[in-house]
Amino acid sequence: MSSWGNAVKISIFGESHGKGTGVVIDGLPAGEKLDIEEIYLQMSRRAPGKDKAATPRLEKDIPEIISGTLNDTTTGAPLCAFIKNTNTRSQDYGDMLSKPRPSHADYTGYIRYNGYNDIRGGGHFSARLTAPLVFAGAVCRQILSRRGINIAAHIASIGNICDERFDPVDVPDELIYRLSTTTFGLINTEKEKQMRELIEQCRIEQDSVGGTVECVIKGMPAGAGSPMFYGIENVISSIIFGIPAVKGIEFGSGFDGSAQRGSRNNDEFYFDGKTVKTRTNNHGGILGGISSGMPIIFRTAMKPTPSISQLQKTVDLKKHKDSEIEIKGRHDPCIVVRAVPVIEAAAAVAVINILSEVHKL
Amino acid sequence: MSSWGNAVKISIFGESHGKGTGVVIDGLPAGEKLDIEEIYLQMSRRAPGKDKAATPRLEKDIPEIISGTLNDTTTGAPLCAFIKNTNTRSQDYGDMLSKPRPSHADYTGYIRYNGYNDIRGGGHFSARLTAPLVFAGAVCRQILSRRGINIAAHIASIGNICDERFDPVDVPDELIYRLSTTTFGLINTEKEKQMRELIEQCRIEQDSVGGTVECVIKGMPAGAGSPMFYGIENVISSIIFGIPAVKGIEFGSGFDGSAQRGSRNNDEFYFDGKTVKTRTNNHGGILGGISSGMPIIFRTAMKPTPSISQLQKTVDLKKHKDSEIEIKGRHDPCIVVRAVPVIEAAAAVAVINILSEVHKL
Amino acid sequence: MSSWGNAVKISIFGESHGKGTGVVIDGLPAGEKLDIEEIYLQMSRRAPGKDKAATPRLEKDIPEIISGTLNDTTTGAPLCAFIKNTNTRSQDYGDMLSKPRPSHADYTGYIRYNGYNDIRGGGHFSARLTAPLVFAGAVCRQILSRRGINIAAHIASIGNICDERFDPVDVPDELIYRLSTTTFGLINTEKEKQMRELIEQCRIEQDSVGGTVECVIKGMPAGAGSPMFYGIENVISSIIFGIPAVKGIEFGSGFDGSAQRGSRNNDEFYFDGKTVKTRTNNHGGILGGISSGMPIIFRTAMKPTPSISQLQKTVDLKKHKDSEIEIKGRHDPCIVVRAVPVIEAAAAVAVINILSEVHKL
Amino acid sequence: MSSWGNAVKISIFGESHGKGTGVVIDGLPAGEKLDIEEIYLQMSRRAPGKDKAATPRLEKDIPEIISGTLNDTTTGAPLCAFIKNTNTRSQDYGDMLSKPRPSHADYTGYIRYNGYNDIRGGGHFSARLTAPLVFAGAVCRQILSRRGINIAAHIASIGNICDERFDPVDVPDELIYRLSTTTFGLINTEKEKQMRELIEQCRIEQDSVGGTVECVIKGMPAGAGSPMFYGIENVISSIIFGIPAVKGIEFGSGFDGSAQRGSRNNDEFYFDGKTVKTRTNNHGGILGGISSGMPIIFRTAMKPTPSISQLQKTVDLKKHKDSEIEIKGRHDPCIVVRAVPVIEAAAAVAVINILSEVHKL
């Protein structure tokens, strides 16, 4: 299912090499003025072939708003946006039809849809489907920002090269602003050179590399989320795994914390003026599924791009025998860079739902 | 929300120190004979004070089936089970009412419910609520087992002491059987002594320790799950984070895989007779959200028990000032051991939903 | 599915001749003091063998609250209530197992559940399952009442004997209070004698009779509900048809209005002080799925009790041949009387969901 | 919310005077060849200004399929269709902005969306939004037809002029075919003249008239649907009330049946060869929410078009005083005719969901 959400539902459609991709966002509050340039900026951060966001307005990946706004202001009716595919030159997919690419969804999609799935460029499984998700997030984050909630992510690692982590108790607004408007998001920008070199090396070796992304949600009021199955971790993870290549997620001290003692991992409370805070934030802003008012912090693991040009073994589903495949074309040797705005976007859609759930009869 | 699921919905209720806990399971297939002893066995694996499962029938945590069966066979009507609380001696919670325990849900629950939440023993946030989840899982896993799908988990680590990992391409049935019927589940049982010593040391030091649990779902047919938001990772994570103390989840090679090259992380396909398999299983049995037919493997990170007897700093919410707390009573210094059957149970509830979703008009 | 709702979910369980029936209500606001006597009163209005609600506390159908409250006040955790079955003497159901009763769910349940459904007394299809629904409604209506929303229904007709209808623009509070606390609810109480005579006549003739119920929701603020599929009509009808024997529903002028001209059926707006009202209320308080602030009025059609003692033709599913059946025991010749509080209850559960949906970020 | 469904979800978007309307259908089975001409035919039955469906291909209301198909065959990915608005000449809506039209959603939408809703032509409340619903139904009914399930509806009445009703136990295939492909659907076609005259008279008198539509679902296998809240009546009514102007629905003998005795309303079972049938069909093919195998029959009440050209009283929301309104432009004096294919379409979307729900692990 490509539909998600309760109070604010998104329904994503489209294919990599079809007419385009898009999203319907149902349940948005009315009267929200949309900053279209800001939406373009977010789209451009994810767009292929754009690394530095020199100009926010891109030639491609420009979303057209089909419904749900009047004078760029939400009407409360479903907001549909469409992003036309412009660069889908015809190509020979004959091979792909029978030879599933390793670690892609070709094989599982084939089984799931009895061979009827559109495999051109990955079809509906393509990372291109994150474009409408970024659009939906761009709308939601503007609405959240007006309520004091801001979201930013950075490349926490590519291969074994790591950026610094967020200070979990104090993420400066300037950092959030910088990260949420850039294309190669790092806390320690000096790491960029090393990371770019690793990516380039992978390209040369016809290989790819994975990485991790760390995301912060700042300004979330305490008391949002619900115990058990509508906790913030449940809701965020259930949308984040909708992003291709995500294979893991952790909140707060996460896997590291699981190796710790309680005396070290526990976060003691104190009063900061009238506000209850914690001196450390191993809980990642969430206790019992509910926000504590501290920054919400999570990290996602992204597998290396499965599309590599090296010769790989696979099967021929039509001939029922083992075979080999060489994936042609230019592929992004590291999707982590472009995944950063996608993760922010998914987080924004999650947060608007979590906030809307809290009871206000 | 303590309700979860689509085709098979569970609705969990109860509190730690109230009358009891229970679950309504709506949407079960009719005609499934339940092995009650097997359900008791699963309950006993999670029950407190029971480490070695000598006898499956325990004096406590015995679920009473209220509805939904006739002669121990499901009727298709909602199955409700109730587990009476037996050991809830009255206690002085005066302090807890105003002093939230660090890294517990006391504070966030207080904010979420305007101070009306039942804080005795954690109320509805208590790990005791995993008892009805284990019941629901015990029902679902029997139904799955008849369809060739079996689930088992083990303690992957406690603190820094690690068990071996599952062989991701070949998990023997005997191992699955042994793990899914024991109380201190390890692949390499020689690690038990070391782990128990670490737990005992934590108890002596009035401290606690976290760990990780690895779970396998074997026999899942290829082609289950859906792209984007109803992928297997989405569905499993959205229920697993309903288990208290879970702060992270990863599938297949997960976070480790994110540091790898594609050439190493990709899983090549081959024909094993008529079946398509992969020689490695870094994808954890899931590609594009859909099962590949390989074992589904995931690991969860569990934070150290927040209840430690050491003096900790906190706030006094009534007096609006910083304060201290000493949590009395005996606490489990490591919840990882008892979390193993809970994670299996949650996985079983997830899998029965995923299987029911696939289109069969 | 016996689960319903979004913001406030109910999950109903139990069988007519099993241990009992119950409900889990998930998502209630915290801090709502429950008037237990008032709940008993509502239960007694529906209970069998109780026509005049002399004493609110009945010997039977007494719900036990299992979870979700502390000192009779909601905690925000799922509220579970259980109603023990007390009057389920063993009986010979041999015949029923193979001979479906005409116009009951015996046959369709048999097919749906492959013969595994509990057919004793109708099992989960029994009208007895409306007891937990009345409980859920009794909780919700107290919460609504505090917000100025009150619900009442009356017997609009039994057979061809009709009560008066609500004045759709002005339903007095006293009438709402009287109807919502009585057992034979009529606007014109002089009709009671005639109606009782008809019911008695049906009993003597081993027959039954149907009727209609009219319900009003007063005090609903304008602007609740959503266009298309989450309109008030959609939501109310989707729960009301969960009540056995309901075969039709109409809002405002309903079927009568469909025979009218627009010039007569349209409701003109005017200012009543600062409030916009309509001079007539053929729209039943709902336009475009959204409340107008006028009373919400709907009527439901209830078929005659299918259980009649006359000899009826049916099939023998085991012998695969035509057969006959005589349904023994005492049956209610007219369920309309006891359906009145059930419809009010379902409306209350619907309204609390509708109100919770409106966006309040 | 303009989203509906579980297994097959539709998400409708668009406005009357915006760029267009459309729908995303998520969860369709893969491999279904779509007959595009047949879809056009269904669209043309609903399209304005087209009464006799001479040619299936219309100049307007032509849906463009954006995603989800390859060679006109479903891929299993979300199917999005878009219908461009072609006839939205600019108009003076100044008056409408402050003066809500009686019995339209102008006022309730204004309150619901704080005045931000698009009121041009009714915006998202417009009956124009039924165009994408007809599209969704046209897709679903083809899939159902291949499984032996066919749907047809007819004008049961306009004002006080009534068509015959379906023979509830035997609806000929030819009649279903005829009705589901025509524009003025009647069982007794001799009534057409009278009905057209009434409509013309209303037009002349600047008035409008309502009516009822009767719909049959033939070929539904016994055993579909679930008790309580996922019964066939619940599901169908929850989508049908999404159609503008629907104010009532009844199944089987419905309101008439509620005036009957049980001995007359009950439907006796018999064997017709190997199949269990009923000699009468007052239950409308549904018992306990579950299909009996008999034709499913329901009727909907549609209020008279609220747009009439006569001078009407209303309020001026800006000036806060009573006012008057004259609605200009050409309006359909009777929407019942064009509602027929819409109701069939909604029924098709409901049925595909009901069928998908039945457990097939």
Query: Apex CA C169: angle with CA C163 and CA C172, to 5°?
Result: 70
pLDDT at residue B47 in the model: 87
Q: State whether A73 and D31 contact (CB < 8 Å).
A: no
Contact between B154 and B337 under an 8 Å Cβ cutoff? The reply is no
How does residue A86 score in pLDDT terms, banded at 50, 70 and 90? confident
Q: How many CB atoms lie within 10 A of CB B268?
A: 17
Name the token pair of A48: 């292929």
With pLDDT > 90 as the criterion, what percentage of chain D qualifies?
A: 88
Q: Using the structure block, give the residue that is written with the tokens 């059946």.
A: C325
pLDDT band of B52, cuts 50, 70, 90:
very low
Cβ-nearest to A74 among D1, D115, D116: D116
Dihedral sign of CA atoms C287, C292, C297, C303 in order = positive
- Shortest CB distance from B105 goes to which of A267, A287, A306? A287
- pLDDT for residue C59: 47
Smallest Cβ–Cβ distance between C125 and the set D1, D249, D288 belongs to D288
Helix (H) or strand (E) holding A4: strand A3-4
Degrees, nearest 5: CA angle A104-A110-A113? 125
Task: Give the residue from chain B lying closest to D148, CA to CA.
Answer: B361
State mean pLDDT over A247-258: 98
Give me the residue from B13, B27, B31 closest to C80, CB to CB.
B13
Asked if D11 lies within 8 A of A78 by C-beta distance, the reply is yes
Distance CA C131, CA B74 (A): 23
More confident call, D181 vs B94: D181
Report pLDDT for A329: 75
Residue D288 sits in a domain of what CATH number? 3.60.150.10
Angle between helices D232-240 and D336-357 (to 10 degrees): 140
How much is the pLDDT for D52?
43
Nearest residue to A12 (alpha-carbon basis) of A248, A352, A239, A307: A239
Name the residue type at position B217: I
B217 to chain A, minimum CA–CA distance in Å?
Answer: 16
C-alpha D185: how far from its chain's center? 13
pLDDT, position D131? 97
Residues of B in contact with C22 (CB under 8 A): 66-67, 80
**Which residues on B lie below 8 Å from C9 (Cβ)?**
1, 3, 11
Q: Which two tokens stand for residue C201?
A: 């006549």
| Spatial distance between the Cα atoms of C68 and C79, rounded to a whole number of angstroms | 4
Query: Cα separation of D231 and D335, whole Å?
Result: 29
For residue D51, name the pLDDT band (cuts at 50, 70, 90).
Answer: low
Kindly determine whether residue C352 and residue A360, on different chains, have CB atoms separated by under 8 Å.
no
> Percent helix, strand and coil across chain A, each rounded to 5?
30, 25, 45
| Helices D336-357 + D130-146 axis angle, to 10 | 50
Domain count, chain C: 1
Mean pLDDT of D13-36: 96
CB contact under 8 A, A361 and C77: no
Compare all CA atoms of chain B with the CA of A311 and give the residue at the minimum distance: B263
Residue C36 host element (H or E): helix C36-46
Query: C116 CB near a chain D CB, below 8 Å?
Result: no
**Cβ(B287)–Cβ(B296) below 8 Å:** no
DSSP B335: -
Each residue's pLDDT tens digit, A7-27: 999 999 999 999 999 999 999
Q: Are residues C10 and C27 in contact, defined by beta-carbon separation less than 8 angstroms? A: no
Residues of D in contact with B352 (CB under 8 A): 361
Of D210, D231, D282, the CB nearest to C259: D210
Report the neighbours of D using a cutoff of 3 or more CB pairs below 8 angstroms: A, B, C
Question: How far lies B267's CA from each of A107, A334, B262, B282, B293, in Å?
Answer: 12, 18, 9, 6, 13
Shortest distance, CA A29 to any CA of chain C (angstroms): 6
Which range marks the domain in which residue D261 is found? 3-357
Q: Which residues pair with A212 in a beta bridge?
A: A157, A301
Cβ-based contacts of B9 with chain C (< 8 Å):
1, 3, 11
Q: What is the pLDDT at residue D359? A: 59
Q: Which chain A residues touch C148 with a CB distance below 8 Å?
A: none
| CB within 8 Å of C99: residues ≥ 6 apart | C314, C315, C316, C317, C323, C325
B7/D357 Cβ within 8 A: yes
Q: Which residue ranges of chain C lie beneath pLDDT 50?
A: 52-59
Contact residues for C230 (Cβ-Cβ < 8 A; gap 6+): C289, C354, C357, D1
Region D40-49: mean pLDDT is 90
CA distance linking residue D325 with residue D307, whole number of Å: 11
Contact at CB, B1 and A228, closer than 8 angstroms: yes
Instruction: Evaluate whether residue C75 is within a structural domain.
Output: no
Q: Tell whether the model's pLDDT for residue B311 goes beyond 80.
A: yes
pLDDT band at A195 (very low <50, low <70, confident <90, very high): very high
Residues of chain D found within 8 Å of residue C255, distances taken between Cβ atoms: 212, 247-248, 250, 255, 301
Q: Tell me if A288 and B125 make a contact (CB, 8 A cut-off).
A: yes
State how far the Cα of D289 lies from the Cα of D277, in Å rounded to an integer: 17
Nearest in space to C255 (alpha carbons), one of D258, D109, D239:
D258
- CA geometry: angle at A319 spanning A317 and A321, to 5°? 80
- DSSP string of A51-100? -S-SSS--SSS-EEEEESEETTEE-SSPEEEEEE---------HHHHHSP
Query: Using only C-alpha atoms, what is the Rg of chain D?
Result: 21
Q: Is A13–D66 a contact, with Cβ atoms under 8 angstroms apart?
A: yes
Whether residue B359 and residue D356 make contact (CB cut-off 8 A), yes or no, is yes
Residue of C nearest to A353 (CA): C361
pLDDT reading at A328 higher than 70? yes
Is residue A113 within 8 A of residue D30, CB to CB? The reply is yes
Mean pLDDT calculated for residue range A152-158: 98
Which range, of B98-112, D265-279, D321-335, averages the lowest pLDDT? D321-335
Residues contacting residue D39 through CB under 8 Å, at least 6 positions apart: D63, D135, D138, D139, D142
Q: Distances in Å between the alpha carbon of A66 and those of A184, C228, D22?
A: 31, 19, 9
The number of C-beta contacts closer than 8 angstroms across C and D is 370
Q: Looking at the complex, does the CB of residue B29 fall below 8 Å from at least one CB of chain D?
A: yes
Amino acid code (one letter) for D53: A
Distance in angstroms (rounded) separating the CA atoms of residues C67 and D53: 60
CB atoms within 10 A of CB A296: 32
pLDDT confidence of D53, banded at 50, 70, 90?
very low
Q: Which pLDDT belongs to residue B91?
A: 60
Residue B21 touches chain A, beta carbons under 8 Å: no
C1 touches chain B (CB under 8 A): yes
Categorise residue A320: left if φ over 0, alpha if ψ from -120 to 50, beta otherwise. Answer: left
Q: What is the mean pLDDT of residues A94-101?
A: 79
Nearest to D39 by CA among D125, D185, D141, D176: D141
Could you identify the residue written with the tokens 């007779």?
A: B273
For C6, the closest chain A residue by CA position comes to A6
Q: Which two tokens stand for residue A120?
A: 């051109």
Report whether pLDDT(D358) > 50: yes
Q: Chain A, 220-259: which have a CB under 8 Å from a chain C CB?
A: 227
Supply φ then ψ for residue C326, to 5 degrees.
Answer: -120, 115
What was the pLDDT predicted at D188? 98
Yes or no: say if B27 and C4 are a contact pair by the CB < 8 Å rule: no
What pLDDT, on the 0 to 100 scale, is given for residue C135?
98
- Asked whether the beta carbons of B346 and B137 are under 8 A apart, the reply is yes
Q: Which residues from chain D sit within 8 angstroms of residue A79, using beta carbons?
A: 13
Distance CA(B78)–CA(D291), nearest Å, equals 20
| Chain B CB within 8 Å of residue C24 CB | yes
Report the candidate in D18, D111, D309, D87 with the shortest Cα–Cα distance to residue C288.
D111
Write the DSSP assignment of D78-110 as a string of letters. PEEEEEE---------HHHHHSPPTTSSHHHHH
D168 touches chain A (CB under 8 A): no
| pTM for the structure as a whole | 0.96
ipTM: 0.96
Asked if A96 reaches chain D (Cβ–Cβ under 8 Å), the answer is no
| B109 Cβ under 8 Å from any chain A Cβ | yes
What's the CA dihedral at A258, A260, A261, A265 to 10 degrees?
-80
**What's the pLDDT band for A58 if we cut at 50, 70, 90?**
very low
The DSSP line for C161-182 is: EEPPPP-TT---HHHHHHHTT-
| Alpha-carbon Rg for chain B in angstroms | 21
- Sheet containing A296-302: give its strands across: A161-162, A150-158, A211-218, A296-302, A246-251, B246-251, B296-302, B211-218, B150-158, B161-162
